[in-house]
Amino acid sequence: MADLKLTHLLGDSYVVEGRIKLGLWGPKDDTVLLDSGMDESSGRALRRMIEREGRHLSWVACTHFHADHVGGCAYLKKSTGCSVAMPAFESPFLEETTYEPSFLWGASPFGALRNKFLMAPVCQVDRRLPQSGEWEETDLRLVSLAGHSPGMVGYVTPDEVAYVGDSLFDSDMVEAHGMLYVVDVAEWLVTLDFLERLEARWFVPCHASTVEDPSELISVTRRHLLDISDRVLTLCRTPMTRDDLLGKLMEWLDKKMDPLRYVLNLGALSAHLSYLIDRGEVEPLEDRGRLLWKAVD
């Protein structure tokens, strides 16, 4: 992996520029890395950057358990002696990494799901963090950003830089993926409302540009979630199975799927169905051993 670029924002707050934007905060002798990239190669590149900058890595603090955010943790912990922290709800997924593909598939994952995109190297978590509040060891403030992942958090520095994980996406990412992964649509909408009110001088999403004003990213993300839910509701006017719904959605989005995209998209569709059921707009219907999803008249 090529050398990573470190961009200064304010005070002790930095962005690590790469395929995924990571955060770095703190003085040189007590540095906190926010997320760790996809795999060991990410960890190695991060270690080289930290050594090049003359820093001592004290903590890797992750926003959520998805492999592209925690994949470098095991290497960094072993090679630098740093500690690893992440939200308490998400921690078991890093300590037993078959949990993520099992969570998506609903059973022991088959071979195509046993890959680095869903299974980060196992790593023990040293500090299980609350969903919100002050993290006194680091002076960072945690904020709950649930929705994309059940226990995702953001980190706000004393410099008023907010590292917001996968809570915000831009139109390019929406277009590329077709359907963003989500576990709880209602919670993600609450998170977007919260981010509109959050006072910070910079916002650092992992898959979009660093911005001073997040309103456009909030609008794009919210519009995408509501558009997908609206389309699912329209499709449910004809009762059909979840797989049939997914096929119709992929036709509408003009997207194809491999097994990895299938489990991610099926999980996201399930979240949209739960959202619509909770709103009283869709109901399940048993039909000859199948579960159909039907719009409420």
Residue numbers of the domain that contains 70: 5-214
Q: Is residue 141 part of a domain?
A: yes
In a domain, 229, yes or no: no
Is 286 inside a domain boundary? Answer: no
Residues 243-291 pLDDT 10s: 999 999 999 999 999 999 999 999 999 999 999 999 999 999 999 999 9
Q: How many CA atoms lie within 13 A of 236 on its CB side?
A: 27
- 192 Cβ neighbours under 8 A, 6+ residues apart: 167, 218, 221, 222
Strands (E), the chain: 5-10, 13-17, 22-25, 31-34, 57-61, 83-87, 127-129, 133-135, 140-144, 153-156, 161-163, 202-204, 282-287, 290-295
pTM above 0.75, yes or no: yes
Would residue 125 count as lying in a domain?
Answer: yes
Q: Is residue 258 domain-resident? A: no
Q: Assess if residue 71 is contained within a domain.
A: yes
In total, how many domains does the chain have?
Answer: 1
Residue 228 in any domain: the answer is no
Q: Is there a domain that residue 225 lies in? A: no
- Specify the amino acid at residue 253: L
Q: What is the pLDDT of residues 208-237, one digit of tens each?
A: 999 999 999 999 999 999 999 999 999 999
Count the helices and strands in the chain (H runs, E runs).
10, 14
Blockwise average pLDDT, block size 10, the chain, 297 residues: 87 95 97 96 96 97 97 98 97 96 97 96 98 95 98 98 98 96 98 98 97 98 98 98 98 97 98 98 96 96
- Compute the 3-state secondary structure of the chain and give helix, strand, coil in percent, each to the nearest 5: 40, 20, 40
Give me the sheet containing 153-156, strands edge to edge. 133-135, 140-144, 153-156, 161-163, 202-204
CATH number, domain with residue 156: 3.60.15.10
